[in-house]
Homo-oligomer: A and B are copies of this chain.
Amino acid sequence: VNAFDPWPPVPEGHPFGLANLPFGVFSHPATGAGVRRIGVAVGDSVLDVAPVLDDGVFAAPTLDPFLARGRAVWGETRARLTELLADVHYQGVVSPHLLPRSEVTLHLPFTVADYVDFYCSLDHASNVGRIFRPDAEPLLPNWRHLPVGYHGRAGTVVVSGTPVVRPCGQRRPPGAEGPTYGPSARLDIEAEVGFVVGVGSELGEPVALERFADHVFGVVLVNDWSARDIQAWEYQPLGPFLGKSFATSISPWVVPLEALDAARVAGPAQEPAPLPYLRRAEPWGLDLSIEVALNGTVVSRPPFATMYWTADQMLAHLTVNGASLRTGDLFASGTVSGPAAAERGSLIELTWNGAEPLTLADGSTRSFLEDGDTVTLSATAPAAGGGVIGLGQVTGTIHPARRSP
């Protein structure tokens, strides 16, 4: 028995403190080589949950069955873990199941059922409009009436750390008549926040805004890698496809909504007032501070609290036509960009479509991503009583294209 000392096993103010307790899936030689189990991050450790709570649902290789159990069980589990980790009385039984976080391998925490990506930042949508339609109204007519969204590829959602191979495809060089085939030359990121559905719903039955927290378990960070040249050529009239579907990275720790109570904010005023099914009932804006680092240089600090459409509105819209939810559905906010230039969540905005390259700490410049570049998104939220809740990070490194043009 490795008696973990001191107790609780995390110092005050740690982003993975007792107020956080995010869930993930890990493997470690001590729990069986290659065997995946449910873990909870506590300070610099991972708690192997199954033996401590004596519940087979945590011996599963994904969070799926736990997610499906619903809000009451999520809350009870969290309360019980808090008790076990806070009270020194349990030190002897719990500490043998704490593993060093640096030693575990983290896996995709849940099976992604459907992946929907929204477009909820007013500043992002406005920037994109100004870049591509400089002489027109930046926002399209529908933008202030509904959270615009589309389906992405669930099967290529990968966990943080998975290499991102530069995609090949068709893109039309400026001024050319037709397309050529080759590696994307305009590889970008999108800093986003994703919401993980635990409890499904019936086909034909919309999920009202007020039921948001009955269905959504928690939050991850999302990097929606985007090949801008492939996207620009393909997207008319059915939307993004191969420009996005090669990889979408998510952070390994799912932070429960309950841990974000102190981060809840009203969300920006909306004008015109949305239709009744989209009218907010509770504050579901979230004051998350995101940081975007490119090869170690922080290039942006997008503020999630500025998002025009909040997550409860996204879910109500997604289901208003009767579309059903399944455990493991993931819906993401779209690029998070604030009003300031240093708050933009994509390179296409940060470099204004390449016209204003970024300078990194090593003196090199970037318009879009180069092979070998590593992008890391991280985020924190305010915790009750001070300190922060960490959302951890999502990172990925660009590997060269596998095929030449």
Q: Show the binding face of A for B, using Cβ within 8 Å.
A: 113-114, 116, 119, 140, 142, 145-146, 148-156, 158, 162-163, 165, 167-170, 178-181, 203-206, 227, 230, 233-243, 245-247, 272, 275-277, 317-318, 320-326, 329, 399, 402-403
Contacts of A158 in B (CB 8 A): 203
A239 to B242, CA, bound (A): 13
B246 touches A235 (CB 8 A): no
B317 touches A242 (CB 8 A): yes
A163 to B321, CA, bound (A): 14
Contacts of A154 in B (CB 8 A): 113-114, 154
Tell whether A234 pairs with B146 under 8 Å between CB atoms, given A246-B323, A323-B246.
yes
A247 to B324, CA, bound (A): 9
B145 touches A170 (CB 8 A): yes
Q: Per a CB cutoff under 8 Å, which of B206, B238, B275, B317 touches A149?
A: B238
**Copies of this protein chain in the complex:** 2
For the complex with contacts A145-B178, A168-B320, A245-B321, 4 further pairs of A-B residues with Cβ separation under 8 Å are A142-B234, A151-B153, A168-B322, A242-B320
Contacts of A181 in B (CB 8 A): 275-277, 320
B149 touches A241 (CB 8 A): yes
23 contacts between A and B (CB under 8 A): A119-B238, A148-B237, A150-B150, A151-B151, A151-B152, A151-B245, A153-B323, A154-B154, A155-B329, A165-B203, A167-B322, A168-B320, A169-B321, A181-B275, A203-B247, A204-B399, A230-B321, A238-B239, A239-B239, A242-B317, A242-B320, A243-B321, A322-B402
Tell whether A238 pairs with B236 under 8 Å between CB atoms, given A165-B204, A206-B403.
no
Contacts of A236 in B (CB 8 A): 140, 142
Tell whether A146 pairs with B170 under 8 Å between CB atoms, given A140-B237, A154-B113, A154-B154.
yes
A233 to B150, CA, bound (A): 14
Tell whether A323 pairs with B146 under 8 Å between CB atoms, given A179-B275, A206-B168.
no
